[in-house]
């Protein structure tokens, strides 16, 4: 795609690095920004700058947050005795949209995937183990993707967590298709998978 402006081409190339954005879509975005008012562009750029500089990750569960603790962890109405372990922040949002879960979360930041160079030390696993040790929850729900990498991570976590006495380790029911990420599941299926979760030891 040859453009008449090097600056426009640079903007298109930058926007095209976003997931799911091709060159044509990036060009449409760039032209929209180019034709926006100074106030609109300033507001847009400030929002992105604040996103990068001021957004934090919850010190307890690693969810995205504007404060040290995210709104879920700081909500006294949430069930602090239940921790749902998920791969990423998008899956927190997906589960919250079901309105079927009232506990807390722990975001791993990925799953074990040697082929992608992601090992145990790259994930928020140590903080999960320490959190279980200090908070002594009643239940940990393993809600990771139904992929080979997700299953590998599930089995590793189960091995680490089963050392804790009186801790119920469950996993979501397999209403989610094999190979799917939770964020792409419809809300009804995801909600039922959480509601009908089963002990991890019974997973066949």
Question: Do the Cβ atoms of 161 and 71 come closer than 8 Å?
Answer: no
User: Do 167 and 110 belong together in one domain?
Assistant: yes
SS3 16: coil
User: Do 29 and 107 belong together in one domain?
Assistant: no
User: Do 109 and 167 belong together in one domain?
Assistant: yes
User: Do 80 and 154 belong together in one domain?
Assistant: yes
User: Do 33 and 94 belong together in one domain?
Assistant: no
User: Do 84 and 110 belong together in one domain?
Assistant: yes
Please check whether residue 110 lies inside any domain of the structure: yes
User: Do 134 and 159 belong together in one domain?
Assistant: yes
Please check whether residue 1 lies inside any domain of the structure: no
CA distance 11 to 26: 8
pTM for the whole thing?
Answer: 0.77
> What is the H or E stretch that residue 56 is in?
strand 56-57
Residues with Cβ within 8 Å of 26's Cβ and at least 6 positions away in sequence, in order, are 11, 12, 13, 14, 15, 16, 18
Give the model's confidence band at 118: pLDDT under 50 very low, under 70 low, under 90 confident, else very high: very high
The residue segments making up the domain with residue 27 are: 6-54
> How much is the mean pLDDT over the chain?
87
User: Do 27 and 88 belong together in one domain?
Assistant: no
**What is the domain count for the chain?**
2
Residues 8-41 have pLDDT tens digits of 999 999 999 999 999 999 999 999 999 999 999 9
Predicted local distance difference test score (pLDDT) of residue 100: 86
Residue in the block written with tokens 């040859």: 2
Residues 136-190 have pLDDT tens digits of 999 999 999 888 899 899 999 999 999 999 999 998 866 544 445 555 455 555 5
SS3 content of the chain, % helix, strand, coil (to 5): 45, 15, 40
Please check whether residue 37 lies inside any domain of the structure: yes
User: For residue 105, is pLDDT > 70?
Assistant: yes
Give the model's confidence band at 99: pLDDT under 50 very low, under 70 low, under 90 confident, else very high: confident
Please check whether residue 59 lies inside any domain of the structure: no
Query: Which CATH number do you get for residue 42?
Result: 1.10.8.420
Backbone angle region of 28, left / alpha / beta, with phi > 0 → left and psi within -120 to 50 → alpha: alpha
Query: Which CATH number do you get for residue 190?
Result: 3.40.1360.10
Give the model's confidence band at 202: pLDDT under 50 very low, under 70 low, under 90 confident, else very high: low
């Amino acid at each position: 795609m040859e453009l008449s402006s090097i600056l426009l081409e640079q903007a298109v190339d930058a926007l095209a690095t976003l997931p799911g954005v091709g060159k044509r879509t990036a060009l449409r975005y760039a032209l929209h920004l180019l034709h926006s008012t100074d106030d609109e562009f300033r507001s847009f750029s400030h929002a992105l700058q604040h996103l990068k500089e001021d957004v934090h990750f919850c010190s307890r569960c690693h969810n995205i947050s504007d404060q040290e603790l995210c709104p879920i962890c700081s909500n006294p109405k949430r069930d602090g005795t239940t921790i749902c372990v998920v791969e990423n922040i998008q899956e927190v949002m997906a589960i919250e949209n079901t309105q079927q879960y009232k506990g807390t979360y722990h975001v791993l930041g990925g799953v074990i995937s040697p082929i992608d160079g992601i090992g145990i030390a790259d994930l928020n696993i140590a903080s999960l183990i320490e959190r279980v040790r200090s908070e002594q929850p009643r239940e940990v729900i393993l809600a990771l993707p139904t992929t080979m990498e997700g299953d590998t991570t599930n089995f590793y976590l189960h091995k680490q967590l089963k050392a804790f006495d009186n801790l119920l380790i469950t996993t979501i029911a397999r209403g989610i298709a094999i190979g799917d990420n939770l964020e792409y599941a419809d809300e009804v299926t995801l909600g039922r998978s959480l509601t009908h979760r089963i002990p991890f030891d019974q997973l066949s």
